[in-house]
Structure 1
Amino acid sequence: MADAAAIFSKTNPVLTSRPRRWLPSPRRIALVVVAAALVAVLFIPLTKNTYLELFGETLFVGMALLLAFQGAGATNPKKVPRWVAQVVGVAVAAVLAPLFVQLFTAGGSFERFIGSHSHVRGYVLVTLVAMVIGLLVALGSLYREREAEAESQALQIALLRETLERQATDARLQLLTAQIQPHFLLNTLANVQELVESGSPRAVPLFRSLIAYLRAAMPHLQQGDATLADEEQLVRAYLELMQMRMPDRLAFSVEIDPALRTMRFPPMALLTLVENAIHHGVDPHVDASRVEVRAGPGEGGVLRIAVIDTGVGMSEKASEGTGLTNLRARMRAFFGETARLELSEHSPRGLRAELVIPQPA
């Protein structure tokens, strides 16, 4: 769960909430300038001031509203929601900013401001306009911020779900691999034990082959990411080991398209098919048999990896074992639902087990 926890951690550069800025963005400042210019035009018929005076007053009030909104949004109040602090901040600025402007034009005298009908009228007019426009813009901005936060949370949830699904798939692959590995190793050791107990002269070279095989196989038992070249190496070593056990009854060939050797492949998946061919096809057959391993592109944009044996064939197999059942699940988990395992009779005798997987892009 470490990857999932990192999604919401403070160190995640993508999904961590961006810090609230005290200073407004250039885009918002530009919008305030344009709005102040338009409002100043509307005030011309209502006052005797020049356009530049009106523009200066409305721009000052607009910037005060913007700073109040931005500053309240940058705070982190504990007792009230942030949007409430922003609305209250805009309302307070809409009252105080026009008052400061009128006091400035009245020479700083509050008595002169109160006694001037034009100053009071201008204050009330600007305050009402600032209150209405400021609150409407603030609410609209808050609505857009809520939508942006909802989209960000949706992306976080989607990424978390994808991460958890990937972790679940990896865990399932590890479980299925763990089920297959003991099965394979125990069968191999049982075959070696037969030769040792029978006193066969091939016991010593067989042990050497087994040790060489285990040296190649053990690193792949723990890793979760293997290639088809790794599988080819294991399959060759395994077939050589089995050929030493029954030299008169087993021949084999391995033909892997060189272009496919670097392809990611589930560890020991191909080996499962080869082992199945040996123990359920070649071993029960009294005559000489052959195992062929082929891998290459097929029709319809798929890759076909086949293990063909000339053993007893499908008719003497009552049902699939744990190895093939797990292999089907591993292939779907690794390559997707379109990956499949096909079993068919091989002419004149034997079994063809073929993995059909989508061709990687």
Structure 2
Amino acid sequence: MLRASLPTWRQIAAVELYTVVLTWILATLTRQPFLECLRHLVPVSLAQLAAYTAATAWQPRWMPLSLARLIAVAVMAPFAALAMIALPRYGRAAAYLATAQGAGSVVMLTLIALVFGLLFTAVALYLQRKERERQAERERLALERDLLDARLRLLQAQIEPHFLFNTLANVLVLVESGSAQAAPVLRHLIAYLRAAMPRLTDADATLDTELQLVRAYLELMRMRMPDRLQFAVTVDPALHQLRFPAMALLTLVENAVKHGIDPSMAGGKIEVGGKNDGGNVALWVEDSGVGISESAAPGTGLANVKARLQACYGNSARLEMHEAEPQGLRVELHFTKEPACLQSQH
């Protein structure tokens, strides 16, 4: 309690700097010696600072803290002024205070201490309130980031089994059909999963790591249907270091293979692209498969991608689906380059 009632060195330094400036102004206006004014004002300001901190430690429950501080500073002003006028005169203090000059000195010093002490206290209270508001805002933002990360982890956990089971189902089709490609595809799948699994829960995943997974997945699918699948990945390199929800783009590519290329007898091509237009980012996955009539119904995967994108980039992020020409489906992701979950630093 005692330690809490004592001013800090930072408070003392701030008050004394303020006192020196005030003394210089008063000495200039009244043509009084600077050191004489300083000798009176420094102890008074320190006494008021002590009252300010004491009110902080011993605040009455029935009174707001800011009011208690103002009252303490105001009450201390006449006592500190009287002490500064009387103490240097020892036994002559009573006689001096009985004179007009002595009483006038006490009144003048009290008024100065009251006016400027209360002014300084009001400024200090305002700055402290603004600092508390900034601290509360920082805590709110930190809590929002924690909630956002938790939401992203939850959404990501939903998509991981979906991806894994779909990929294993593709391998199972090859095995059951007795395809000679089954063993090579399985080996590539094992190698792919060994490289991919550590990234699936990476909180700092970037678009670059996502594109690596997309290319690996498409290579794997091309081994399964070499005559029916072609692909191209052309994304602006300036976007590679953006933080991006892991497996969001991969989910769109999966859907393009499963709902666009697989049902088509002739197969088709998948194009993965991205561009940045003045901070507005557009990513897309376009296939030339069976088209929007058979593949456009939004499922869990697309809803998950949209939710994760909005969790990362805000509610303005959106997912759009369009018919491709001459046939096929184009799925686009749009968001601004300044994400709510911050850009990864690389």
Cα displacement string for residues 211-236 of structure 1 (whole angstroms, at most 9, x for unaligned residues): 12112211211211222221221111
Aligned to 1:78: 58
Q: Tell me which moved more, 331-340 or 132-141.
A: 331-340
Show the 5 A alignment for 1:1-361: 21-22=11-12, 24-36=15-27, 38-39=29-30, 58-75=37-54, 77-78=57-58, 81-101=68-88, 103=89, 108-110=90-92, 114=94, 120-297=99-276, 302-317=280-295, 319-359=297-337
Distance change (3 Å), C-alpha of 1:66 and 1:230: same
Count of residues paired in the alignment = 324
Q: Give the 3 Å change call, closer, same or farther, for CA 18–239 of structure 1 in structure 2.
A: farther
Distance 1:240 1:124, change over 3 A: same
Following the alignment from structure 1 to structure 2, what is the Cα–Cα distance between the partners of residues 281 and 27?
74
Tell me, yes or no, if the aligned pair for 2:73 and 2:118 is still in contact at 8 Å: no
AA at the equivalent of 2:202: Q
1:99-156 residue CA offsets vs partner (Å, 9 max, x unmatched): 234x2xxxx544xx6567x863322221122222222222222111111111111111
Question: Which residue pairs with 2:65 in the alignment?
Answer: none
Q: Is the 8 A contact 2:260 2:295 kept in 1?
A: no
State the AA in 2 paired with 1:345: E
Match of 1:7 in 2: none
Q: Distance in 2 between matches of 1:257 and 1:318?
A: 27
TM-score (norm 2): 0.82
Does the Cα contact within 8 Å between 2:52 and 2:70 map onto a contact in 1?
Answer: yes
Residue 36 of structure 1 contacts residue 62 of structure 1 at CA under 8 Å; is this kept in 2?
no
Please report how far the alpha carbon of residue 271 of structure 1 lies from its aligned counterpart in structure 2 after TM superposition: 0.5
Give the aligned residue type for 1:255. T
Distance 2:228 2:8 in 1: 70
Q: Give 1:198's aligned amino acid.
A: S
CA distance in 1, matches of 2:165, 2:9: 58
- Return closer, same or farther for 1:288/1:72 CA change in 2, 3 Å cut-off: same
Structure 1 residues without counterparts, runs of 5 or longer = 1-16, 42-50
- The amino acid across from 2:316 in the alignment is T
Cα pair 1:22 1:71 within 8 Å, conserved = no
Larger gyration radius, structure 1 or structure 2: 1
CA spacing shift, 1:137–1:344, aligned 2, 3 Å: same
8 A Cα contact 2:322 2:329, kept in partner:
yes
Indicate how the Cα distance of structure 1 residues 18 and 180 shifts in structure 2: closer, same or farther if over 3 A, else same: farther
Report the CA distance between 1:343 and its aligned residue: 0.8
Q: Deviations over 1:29-49 (max 9, x none)?
A: 23124325645x6xxxxxxxx
Q: Partner amino acid for 1:348? A: P
Contact kept in structure 2, 1:338 and 1:357, CA below 8 Å: yes
User: Partner of 1:226: helix, strand, or coil?
Assistant: coil
Give the AA of the match of 2:78.
A
- DSSP-derived class of the 1:344 partner: strand
1:201-254 Cα distance to aligned partner (Å, 9 max, x none) = 222101111012112211211211222221221111111222222233322222
Q: Structure 1 length normalisation: TM-score?
A: 0.79
C-alpha distance in 2, partners of 1:276/1:144?
A: 61
Q: How far has the Cα of 1:171 moved from its partner? A: 2.0
- Unpaired runs of 5+ in structure 2? 1-6, 61-67
What is the percent sequence identity of the aligned residues? Answer: 43
Alpha carbons 1:36, 1:58 under 8 Å: kept:
yes
**Partners of 1:90 and 1:135 within 8 A in 2:** yes
Distance 2:36 2:241 in 1: 71
- Note the C-alpha offset of 1:359: 4.7
Q: Secondary structure of the residue that 1:163 maps to in structure 2?
A: helix
Is the partner of 1:191 in helix, strand or coil? Answer: helix
Query: Is residue 20–residue 74 contact of structure 1 (8 Å, CA) maintained in 2?
Result: no
Query: Cα offset for 1:82?
Result: 4.4
Deviation at 1:284, TM superposition (A): 2.1
**Cα deviation, residue 56, structure 1:** 6.7
